[in-house]
Amino acid sequence: VGFYDVVRSTQAPALEFTSVAALGTSKGPAGGSRVWIRARLATVRVKGKSTFIVLRQNSLYTVQAVKFKSAEDGDESAATIAKFFKTLPLESVVDLCGIIAEADVSGCTQSTVELQIERAYCVSEASSVLPFLLADAQRSDRAIEESLSTDRPFVRVLPDLRLDNRWLDIRVPAHNAILRIQAAVCRIFRAALERKGFIEIHSPKLIAGESEGGAEVFRTDYFGKVATLAQSPQLYKQMAISADLPGVFEVGPVFRAEKSNTSRHLCEFTGLDLEMPIDWHYREVIEVVHETLKAIQEGLESECADVLVIIRDMYPSEPPVISAEPLVIHWPEAMTLLKEHGIERDRMADLSTEEERTLGSLVRQKFGADLFFLDRYPSGVRPFYTMLCEDDPLHSNSYDCILRGQEIGSGAQRCHDPALLEARCAELGVPTAPLKSYIDSFRHGVPPHGGVGLGLERIVQLYLGLDNIRKASMFTRDPSRLSP
């Protein structure tokens, strides 16, 4: 046993490490094999000269390692191992050499084997006092609530403490798994659209104007000029259609300077955007968006089943119900549903959060679906680039994607005619000078087109039934948090 010098790429010992996930499987080394493992020290239990430890690797995989006293060396090695691990702080990174032995270990993911410890070295020693214990941080709310009626209630790790030490919080298996689901959503989103011939783009995030035409932007100096952080890739993905790309998508950062301290808003999040030419109707875009979200659901449930089990053990939820074909609810129909439920409201005003949730519940009851598209929004609550309905300019060719009673994205047919667009900007008081290049791209000819902007973190939050979007964000940016 002992402590390595700091690893500084000066030498590479001839050690070949085995992954914890492979132990006890047909793909891993056979029983009786000697293996090296590099992992975190999750738990330690020493009884006399007998040592029981649990090693955790990549957050999700655990294996037990043991050392018992032996007459062969007069118990010397057992005593040395016990002393080493008894004083080593939890969460330290260790290299361990051991023999694979059959075992029945219910508390570890590798439940059919254990390692008989021969050697152990500390690679990176953790602080002796951690901000919180992983054992406390990974308990479900239900387990904590049930413990309150006992004489030994569990500790509840508060949200701000978790966010202040987010790297530690992400070691919690469920939280680590959430980021894996986030990555899978991006991967499936890309794959689904690439199969349809879409091209991935990377648009500027420093822009001269305001991509959504509102005041809620972050401004910065750009060599003596005022620049803003893009609220979306909206203008550029439309110009991509003018550039004759057959359909485009982007996975990238989005910035909103909204002072919204809620459980579903962030000041920086990841946008899943797409834009495509349409033949005649924005319904063509809705069909593509629905197929993409359906592919995400099917992909998550089939490809990430093991990860979902870990998350749902801490945060119980069921997969959302998504209909085979797009469920489209028109604005007047939605207003009728709310009125029949006893909600009297201004029919031309945007939905409040509570009204949105209520509508989602009513749609679930009536149509049996958790995902639907609410279209023909009042034009007064939509951005300047939205095409108005030809039969009723008070409404627009726009839609929201609503999952489990909350918006996950907005879309529309875009106003691609320069004269109509300039008239709409004048009507809304949107200055056109910063939009010159954008409007010029339409003067040079552009197909009718539409698209959508989805929020990655909100999709993950609602898909998994999480109570706060911060659990779906790696490092949160909200009105009160700029670090870590």
Helices 456-463 & 173-195 angle (0-180, nearest 10):
120
Is residue 85 within 8 Å of residue 117, measured between CB atoms? no
- Catalytic annotation, residues: 256, 258, 264-265, 407, 410, 458
- Show Cβ contacts of residue 430 under 8 Å, excluding neighbours closer than 6 positions: 213, 384, 424
Which position has the token pair 């075992």?
Answer: 103
